[in-house]
Structure formats: C-alpha cells, structure tokens
Amino acid sequence: MADLNKNTSLYIRFFFILIFVVLIGRLLYIQMIDRKDYGKVADEQSLREVVQFPSRGYIYDRNGELLVYNEAVFDLMVEPAKTVKKVIIEDNKKTHVRKVRLDKMEQVNDTALLCRKLGITNEQYNDLITKAFLYSPVAPSIFMKQISKEELAAWEKDLRKFSGFYVQRRTLRSYTHKVGAHVLGYIGEVNDNDINADNYYRQGDYIGQSGLEKSYEKELRGIKGKTVMQVDVHGREICHYLDGKNDTRPVEGSNLYTSIDIELQEYAEKLMANKRGCVVAIEPATGEVLALVSAPTYDPNLLVGRVRKDNYPVLSNDIRKPLYNRALLGSYPPGSIFKVAQAMTGLQLGVIQPGTGFPCTKRPANCHNHPSATCVKDAIKMSCNPYFCCVYNRIIQQGKYKSPYEDSQYGLMVWNDYMHRLGFGQRLDIDLPNVNSGFIPDTHFYNKRYRGHTWAYTTIYSNSIGQGEVLVVPLQMANLASIVANRGYYITPHVVRYLGNDTVKKRIEKYYVKHETGIERKWFDIAVQGMFDVVHGAGGTGHKADVPGIDVCGKTGTAENYVGHHIKRADHSVFISFAPRDNPKIALAVYVENAAGGGGSWAAPISGLLIEKYLKGKVERPEFERTYMEAAPCQAVYVPKKPAQTAQTAEK
C-alpha cells in the first residue's frame, strides 16, 4: 500500500514538472525564437494604422468645365476599448442580442466635456459609443462622420484630451451645377455586400451608387494610402512610426472627361421643369451623349454629406419619382416614331418600294384626316396608320409558307431580327448603370401568350404603329434618330470620352466601333426626306420643331397609355429628330408623359428649342421659348385609391 501511494505521488510531481517545463519552453520560444510574432503583438498595442483616402477623380463636361469635385471633410474615429477602463459586453445566447453595459464601465474621458465640444447630448454619445463597441471594442470605427473644416477647427485643439479618439481625413463630392443628377450619380456608404464583394472597402467607406459614380467606381476611387502612427497607452498619437518608413501615399483616382454639354443639359432641365418625361441628346457621328434628362429631377447636392439621410427618404417617397431615371429605365410604347423602323425594314426586305402607296382606309387602325400616301416618304410625313399596318402585313406575311400561321412565324422572326439591328429589344451598352432593354415580341412570346393557338398578322398588327406589345426605352429612340442621321449605323451611346488626367487621357475602345444595321443607305435617304417633310413640308405633323435657318428632320409620335384593362389616361407626346439634315450634329428623343395633344404639340417644340440652343448657342425666339418652358401639360399623377375599410378589415 505504501508503494502504491509513493508511485502516485511521483506521477503527480512528474505531471506538474512537465507542465512547468512546457510553459517555460513556450515563453523562451516567444521571447528568443519567435520575436517576429511577439513584436507584431507589441506593435499592435502601440501603433495605429491610419487610412489615407485618395482624392476621388473629378468629372468634367465636354468643354472642360468642372462638374464634380471634392471637398475635405473629417471623420471622428474611436477605438472604444481605450475610452473605458474595463470592457463589459453581455451576450444573450438565447436571443443572440449583444448589450454594452455602459453603466458598469468607468470612463477614461470627461464625456460631458466631449459632448459639449461635439455639440451632442449624453444620450447621443451613449448610442454612438455603443454602436462602436458592438462593431469591435478594439478596431477603429467612425464615431461621427463628415465633419466640416469649420466644425473641426472649433474643437480640434482639445482632441488630445480624449483617449481613444482621433480624426481621419476624407473627401465628399460637391457639384458646381444643380443639374445632371441622373448622369453624374451619387456616392453612399458601403453595406455588407459591398465589403464582401471587394476587400478594398471597410465599414464607413463610400462607393458610387448611381450614375457615372457607380459605373466608373474603380477608376474614380483611386488607391488608399496609410500612415503608421506611434500612440501612447491612451491611444494618443505621438509620432510617425520609424519616421514614416512604412507610410504609403494614396493614389488619386482618374478624372472623367465626359461628352455632356452642361449648358445644353441645364437648358433641357429648365424646359422639362414642369413636366414628366425625359430628353436624350446624342452626337450621331460619335455616339457621345450631349444631354440626358429625366424629369422631374433633383439637385445632386441634396444627396451629399449628412443631409443625405434626411433628403433621400423624401426623394424616394415622392410620388413623381425624381430618383427614377426615365431616360434609361422607362419602357414606353414608342408610338408613331416606330414607323420609321418599319419603313426601313420593308424597303430592305423588298416587300415595298419607295413609290409604294396604300389608301388611308382608317382600318385596321384609325387615323387622322389626310390624303392617302402614295409613297414611303409621304407616309412618314403624314404618319399614316393604315399605311404602316399594310407594310407590317407584308413583312409578317411574306408568302414563304402556304399556311398563314407558319408564314407569320417566319415573318415575325425576320422582323424581330431587324428591330434588334436597329437597337431595339436589347440593352444598349451605355456607360451608365441600370439600363432597360425594352421589349420586342418574338414567336416564343406569342406562342406562349396564345397557348398553342394560331396567331397571325391580324392578331399583332398594332406593333406596326408602335403600340401593342412593343416597348422602347428613350435612349433607344434617340439612337434610332442617330441611325437615320448616320444613314444606317450607330456607335453605342456613351457619356465618358476619356479617362485620366490633364496630361494622359485614355479612350474606351468599344465606344469607337460602328454597328451596321445591314440596311442600305439609299433607304435611309428616303427616311431623311420623309422626316424633313414632317417638319417643313405641307401636311407634316411636326412643324413646331422648325428652327429658322436650320434643316431639322423629325418624326412625331402619340403613344396611347393604358394603366389597366380599358382604363386609358392621357397619351404620351413623343418626338425624335436630328439636325442639320446634312452632317448632323445632334440627334434627339423627347418624351413627355400624359401630355394630351400628340407629339407635335409638346415634344416637337421642345426638340426644336434644344436644337436651336445647341447649334446656335442661344434661342432667338423668346416668346416661343417662354410658352413651352412655362407650360405644364402633363396630366396629374394617378394615385390609386385605398380600398374602403370594412369592419372585418378594421378588426384584423
């Protein structure tokens, strides 16, 4: 028995000696062998890496005028654990709710003084420091963001009194003009998805969220730098670590040199101020966007800085949808402007000739009173509905098959292909985000809609006059005007001409590629003559687009607007145009929502004024300008009525 107790005692002694040897060995390893890791831990306790944010690239218009620049602001950063003597965070495992017990923490700082300096209440301080603790007790996070230079100057000298707080410089966007919001876009704070998608970002960083700011985020943002500072036990900065040996300079972002003509943009927004709709203006030869307006719009400065959190909900909840970019996202029935595309397709396919005429029978689609068109250019000039129904009939029913239904399947496939060649039914690859593709129906769509039952031209003839199932984005409408102006090709519309700086500029090669439609130039010459007659000829529907001394070519459209089955609202007013007739400098699409009177009443005169402003540099018809600038033709916004509350719904 004595021997057993003696052996047990030896085992216990050996066990404790072994533990002691392991601990001594580990300590020696850390101090003598693994100095690098030990030093790293020590550095983390005495060093602070401060991010140096790069200057975001500037944005200029086509004439070199500055549109977007940076203003210096400052974020007040906090390392929460350094503001208290002990960190107490309770984690409820059942509810998964973490709670910071500020009432049990002894504060290092004079929080009352700090609150007075910052102009906040004690309750606000507690909310902000709690949020910082929950993010991380030790990692820096933003305590107060976007402090101006003037605000900072009032209390910066006192900042060293407060442990765990320091200032980090960054920049905010500022806009020289109160226009161009849908093109320029805005930046906002990153979310978890942004951080997970790109390790460049961390909490509190900003990212482009719309417009050019989003499309060119990686080019605009630049590359971050860092400053490694030595700090004392309270987190106060002492000096640059190793005299700045580990510091890196930020690399400023690239500038954007855009195609926007800010004077034209500003003028277009004034013309559309009392209206709903949009304007897209393009230089046909290059595809460069001269102006892009969605109305109603907003001042881009409203979404900058600390005022953004108050302004964004107001804009977002506005029933007129000022944040919605109608020029790129709106899918509308194109109305009669679509007839130009039908004429070009019919001529190229050979189903009609330049001198082909059809009587205006007002069937199958009704029409306004005018003589029957005896040729294609007159049909375009007078915008004859029955004429283009007949053209569409010949495209769809080409007689390739004995069965009219099989023939329609074939004809619609051919038609669909030509519509895509003309830029419809697809997303035009403009350098702006969130672009709609519109809709051009195909055989699959109609087979599904009619559930295997037969369909033919008589079922779908409304497509011929830009109604039916056809939907077009205003950008595509302006692109069609460019195609006709170029007599058969287009270059993808784009906003940025060059990237870089004043000395080195880089162009984007894909925006120098011609897209041929496969339709011969001679047919477009007929379309040009027809569109010239729309504005200048007897019986033309777009005389209000006429500009003295300029050969304007255009096409009116009146798009019917149904908001429900058999519920019709005021029609949309549509006009596409280009000028001058030879060597065109500008192509336009103007869309005015719910403006009774047709394309010739509202969209056409607005187009004429824009052409005059761009080509002449000024408008020489002040009374005419005043009439259409002050007019508010759009029918009131439709607000659905809430269902009456019943006793049963009230109880629920």
Which pLDDT belongs to residue 97?
66
Out of 59-73, 116-130, 338-352, which region has the weakest mean confidence (pLDDT)?
A: 116-130
Cβ atoms 73, 206 nearer than 8 A: no
Share the mean pLDDT of the chain: 88
Tell me what the mean pLDDT of segment 313-328 comes to.
94
- Per residue in 543-559, pLDDT tens? 999 999 999 999 999 88
CA 411 to the chain's CA centroid: 37
- The C-alpha atoms of residue 374 and residue 652 are separated, in whole angstroms, by 66
- The C-alpha atoms of residue 605 and residue 551 are separated, in whole angstroms, by 14
Structure tokens at 204: 């509190």
- The C-alpha atoms of residue 220 and residue 255 are separated, in whole angstroms, by 7
Which pLDDT belongs to residue 229?
76
- The C-alpha atoms of residue 490 and residue 423 are separated, in whole angstroms, by 9
Which pLDDT belongs to residue 287?
98
- The C-alpha atoms of residue 598 and residue 555 are separated, in whole angstroms, by 11
Q: What is the DSSP letter of 113?
A: H
pLDDT level of residue 53 (50, 70, 90 thresholds): confident
Out of 207-221, 245-259, 281-295, 478-492, which region has the weakest mean confidence (pLDDT)?
A: 245-259
Tell me what the mean pLDDT of segment 480-491 comes to.
98
Check whether 504 has a pLDDT greater than 60: yes
Residues 6+ apart with CB under 8 A from 634: 274, 275, 276, 277, 570, 592, 593, 594, 595
Which pLDDT belongs to residue 37?
44
- Per residue in 147-187, pLDDT tens? 888 888 888 888 888 888 888 888 889 999 999 999 999 99
Helix (H) or strand (E) holding 290, with range, is strand 288-295
Cβ atoms 429, 492 nearer than 8 A: yes
- Per residue in 567-603, pLDDT tens? 667 889 999 999 999 999 999 999 999 998 889 999 9
Q: Which residues are registered as beta bridge partners of 280?
A: 292, 589
Which stretches of 495-631 are assigned E, i.e. beta strand? 496-500, 505-506, 514-516, 553-564, 567-579, 586-592
Which pLDDT belongs to residue 51?
82
Cβ atoms 195, 202 nearer than 8 A: yes
Check whether 3 has a pLDDT greater than 60: no
- The C-alpha atoms of residue 263 and residue 278 are separated, in whole angstroms, by 17
Which pLDDT belongs to residue 562?
66
pTM: 0.84
Query: What Å distances lie between residue 404 and 148, 275, 315, 400, 458, CA to CA?
Result: 72, 45, 52, 9, 11
Cβ atoms 436, 330 nearer than 8 A: yes
Helix (H) or strand (E) holding 39, with range, is helix 35-46
Residue 630: Cβ within 10 Å count: 10
pLDDT level of residue 492 (50, 70, 90 thresholds): very high
Three-state secondary structure call for residue 403 = coil
Which residue did the predictor score with more confidence, 631 or 2?
A: 631
